Chains A and B, each alone.
Chain A
Amino acid sequence: MALKKIDFKLIAMAIALIFFIILPFINGTMYWQRLIMSLFLFIPVVIGCTIMARMGALHAAQGAFMSIGAYTVAILTKNYGMNFWLVLLISIVVTGIIAMCVGFPALRVTGPYFVFMTWGLNQLVMSIWIKAETISNGVRGIDNIPRPSNIGGISFNSPTAIYYLGLVLMVVCTIILFILYKSHFGLAMSSIGQNHILSESLGINVMAVKVKAFVTVSIVASVMGGYFAIMQTYITPSDFGVWNSFNYVIFSIVGGIGSFVGAIYSSVVLTFFPIAMQYIPGWNPFYKPIVYGIFVLFVVMVYPRGIVGLVENAGKGIERIFTRNKKLVTDDIKSK
């Protein structure tokens, strides 16, 4: 039975991947491509939130780290004409250093205190972008961010090229995070989330594991932030505000607390949710935060398994429909 479940997930993702690859060929307009590019953006960031959540740390600063990547790319490629790919590497290093400096004090606390610290960090970074007008252009933001320069003979001047870049980045980041999640390091992370004192007593350096995970997740967010910059070609501080960070946390919770696949499911569902809602009469986009809030309350209070739980229950239900006949027979034999 377990084998069937894994196959289903893999098949679904393979289909999705194929769909993403052929999309530009079946639909020439940019409407769907733009929508799915934002999905590419969400998935690794939300998975990052999920990974931190597994250790009991609700990471409310993914927006801040995205902004570090985005502004680094925007400023260095537009104002200094540097090569995008080089800048991406620079932003990875810079983000890593910042995440380590922030991580050590922040990860000493857990629960709501960690949320406050990351929330505060997010606000702090936003304030820096708003105030440091000479570098960041303040609230006006940075526009006309140049496309990435050619690499390996591939040109990125067309929107479709940017779309495929997003696909590649999303897949690479997701695979990296998945390997982490499934490895012994991931097992250590999960154990810390369940009983950090026991983990410590068995020799796991809890602080080191938390910081390593935090730095990795923040670097991924920063890379996606860099992608955001060249995708939108226009960034402002409000693109990375606290509401955005909370959005990622909400996606991560609704997918199923601590579930890797759940983060992917919920990113998909909640990206298309506002689009679908437009077709319902009487829908006002203003309702979106209220509805999200209700989702979160529901998952936290009633159904922690989230979207993943719904999917697995549906899968079990479908299985039962197909095996129902067999079950009746074995029941008969037993009762005799």
Chain B
Amino acid sequence: MPLVKGITISKFFGGLKALQDVDIVINKNELLGLIGPNGAGKSTLINVLSGYYKPTKGRILLDGVDVTGKNMHYAARKGLVRSFQQAAIFKELSVFENVIVAQHIFDRPGIFDEIILSHRRRQKKFEIKAEEFLDFSEMSHLKSVKAGDLPYGYQKILGVTMAISANPKVLLLDEPVTGMSIGEIKQILDLVVRIKKEKKLSVLCIEHNVRALLEIVDRVMVLNFGEKIADGTPEEISNDQKVIDAYLGGGY
């Protein structure tokens, strides 16, 4: 059974067609690339899958569970977490605190719990885990820095780190390397591959840097004008005429 299954997802904003009858499947332990021209509906698809938008039509199944139209936090708790295109972090908190907030899923202390301090012991566990995640992303040396003071590249890495520390089964990354320098691109894409391998997650990755993306993904899906026009291995996609005409141009 696939981990994520989106069935004939359509999203209309009034008369504007953002997505139409898009089927998407993400399998376990798979790195799926999502490419297409700007305005093709890639971010919209992530927004619908994660619950930020309710689809106009269609259903989303997460590990067999129907999460269509539920709030984002519901999907997140079922294991579907997304990152944001603009580095979304908590600017006023330190890097360490950012990762702690992201783990809130694990333990939702009620107010009474907090007041009687009953879960203080468990808090220590989160702090240890937060250290581990920061180690994984090689950001431990920055842990006390206020997140808003970080350079943009590190903010994006922090955003991805926070998404991972929310313990997802599947991670939806929205353009994780846009705006990065070549060295940073390599750093983030290496991180994404390591995430998939070591944490055994599935990852959906939207990217415009197709050359870099095709090297790391298992499968690629292509959107154009809100519709799926191709779905296959990197080789198949590079040679698909429809895709070349719509987006890639020659030379892939």
Let me know if A272 is at the binding interface, CB within 8 A: no
Assuming the contacts A179-B117, A184-B104, A197-B88, asked whether A191 and B93 have C-beta atoms less than 8 A apart, the reply is yes
* Total chain B interface residues with beta-carbon distance under 8 A: 35
Contact, CB under 8 Å: B105 / A202: yes
A203 to B163, alpha carbons, bound, how many Å?
10
Assuming the contacts A184-B126, A202-B166, asked whether A191 and B90 have C-beta atoms less than 8 A apart, the reply is yes
Assuming the contacts A191-B93, A194-B92, A197-B52, asked whether A204 and B101 have C-beta atoms less than 8 A apart, the reply is yes
Let me know if A313 is at the binding interface, CB within 8 A: no
Pick the residue among A180, A187, A201 that contacts B111 (CB under 8 A): A180
Let me know if B215 is at the binding interface, CB within 8 A: no
Assuming the contacts A185-B111, A188-B101, A188-B104, asked whether A200 and B73 have C-beta atoms less than 8 A apart, the reply is yes
Contact, CB under 8 Å: A205 / B108: yes
Assuming the contacts A197-B52, A198-B84, A198-B89, asked whether A212 and B111 have C-beta atoms less than 8 A apart, the reply is yes
Query: Residue of B at shortest CB range from A187?
Result: B101
Let me know if A199 is at the binding interface, CB within 8 A: yes
Let me know if B102 is at the binding interface, CB within 8 A: yes
Contact, CB under 8 Å: B104 / A203: yes
In terms of DSSP, what is the predominant structure of the interface of chain A?
helix
Segment of B25-33, B75-83, B180-188, B230-238 in the binding face: B75-83
Chain B nearest CB: distance from A215 CB in Å?
A: 8
A204 to B105, alpha carbons, bound, how many Å?
6
A190 to B97, alpha carbons, bound, how many Å?
11
Chain B nearest CB: distance from A182 CB in Å?
A: 9
Chain B nearest CB: distance from A192 CB in Å?
A: 9
Pick the residue among B91, B97, B163 that contacts A187 (CB under 8 A): B97
- Max chain A Cβ within 10 angstroms of own Cβ: one of B72, B76, B93, B126: B72
Contact, CB under 8 Å: A200 / B72: yes
Contact, CB under 8 Å: A203 / B166: yes
Chain B nearest CB: distance from A245 CB in Å?
A: 23
Let me know if B71 is at the binding interface, CB within 8 A: yes
Let me know if B209 is at the binding interface, CB within 8 A: no
Contact, CB under 8 Å: A201 / B81: yes
Within 8 A of A (CB), among B58-100: 71-73, 76-77, 81-82, 84, 88-93, 97, 100
Query: Residue of A at shortest CB range from B72?
Result: A200
14 A-B interface contacts by CB (under 8 A)? A183-B109, A184-B109, A184-B123, A184-B126, A185-B114, A190-B90, A197-B52, A200-B71, A200-B72, A201-B52, A201-B82, A203-B104, A203-B166, A212-B110
